[in-house]
Amino acid sequence: MLADAIAAERFRLIRDRTAVFWGFLFAPLASLLFSLAGDIFVRLAFHRTIPGATTDLANRAMGAVAGASGPVTALFLLIGAAAIVAGDYRWESWRLVTPRNSRLNLLAAKLIVFAEASAWSLLLTALAAVLAGLFSSVVNAAPLVGSGVGSAFLGQFAGVFLITWLEVLMIGALAALVGVVTRSTMGAVIAGLVVVVVQSTAAAAVQAASWKTLAIPAYAARTLKTFVAAPEGFRPDAGPAGLGLVMLLVWLAVLATGALVLFRRQDLTKE
């Protein structure tokens, strides 16, 4: 039954082109266009290239993925998550679908489909960074160089990708929880964005790692990314990174479980 719910939710998302574009495609495409425009502007304004400049496509891709969970990108992810999770409140269609499957399966399917779409969005972000790097290399006559860590880059990139994806899944779970409580797509977006901005601001002001600071998702993720992306001989202590991973998983479990429990008990006779 869960597989049927996932297939149905995936089909609905594919048909909702507005949600797909604004939620999962716009941010990567906008970053690509902004980078291209910046390179063209600098080239036309200064009429010369920077001597000795090089282009590292690997670091560009990893940096783009690492920053894909910031407040600006989170806004568009919240739009996509709200459309998936809370769209049935807007269209008052819950009473049509709940008799066909269990509530647990229906909401779990929405979260799983969001996880799939966000993973593709992160991959598109990395691809956009690579394309922007190739364009910059040509326009600025900056030769391509390999990553300084060699084959270890694949492991670092995979680690950063998974950590960022975990952050994005938290954004989706947050949108689900707020969407269930408010029964509104706009409420899920606005309240979710406020939470993301507040915790990102708090994480930027924190320096020392402790269990209290690592309870801030953005700070825990930053600590994890620093640990994973650091060269083998220069990695910081693994203790804070491990605790940060536990905190992120706990937050994800709490938000997703809260959304599922509340939705299971919710009165949907008018939805």
DSSP structure string for the chain: -HHHHHHHHHHHHHH-HHHHIIIIIHHHHHHHHHHHHHHHHHHHHH-SPPTT--B-HHHHHHHHHHTTTSHHHHHHHHHHHHHHHSHHHHHT-HHHHGGGS-HHHHHHHHHHHHHHHHHHHHHHHHHHHHHHHHHHHHHTT--B---TTTTHHHHHHHHHHHHHHHHHHHHHHHHHHHHHHH--HHHHHHHHHHHHHHHHHHHHH--S--TTGGGSHHHHHHHHHHHHHS-GGG---HHHHHHHHHHHHHHHHHHHHHHHHHHHH---TT-
Q: What pLDDT was estimated at residue 42?
A: 81
Q: Has this prediction a pTM greater than 0.85?
A: yes
Distances from the Cα of 105 to the Cα of 3, 65, 171, 262, angstroms? 9, 30, 20, 14
Q: Rounded to the nearest 5 degrees, what angle is found at the Cα of 219, between the Cα atoms of 217 and 220? A: 65
Distance between CA atoms of residues 9 and 21, nearest Å: 17
Q: What pLDDT was estimated at residue 232?
A: 75
With tokens 């952050």, the residue in question is 167
Q: What pLDDT was estimated at residue 52?
A: 63
Which pLDDT tens digits describe the chain residue by residue (271 residues)? 899 999 999 999 999 999 999 999 999 999 999 999 988 888 888 777 666 677 888 889 999 999 999 999 999 999 999 999 998 888 888 888 888 899 999 999 999 999 999 999 999 999 999 999 999 888 887 888 877 666 778 889 999 999 999 999 999 999 999 999 999 999 999 999 999 999 999 988 887 788 888 999 999 999 999 898 887 777 778 888 899 999 999 999 999 999 999 999 998 876 6
Distance between CA atoms of residues 111 and 172, nearest Å: 7
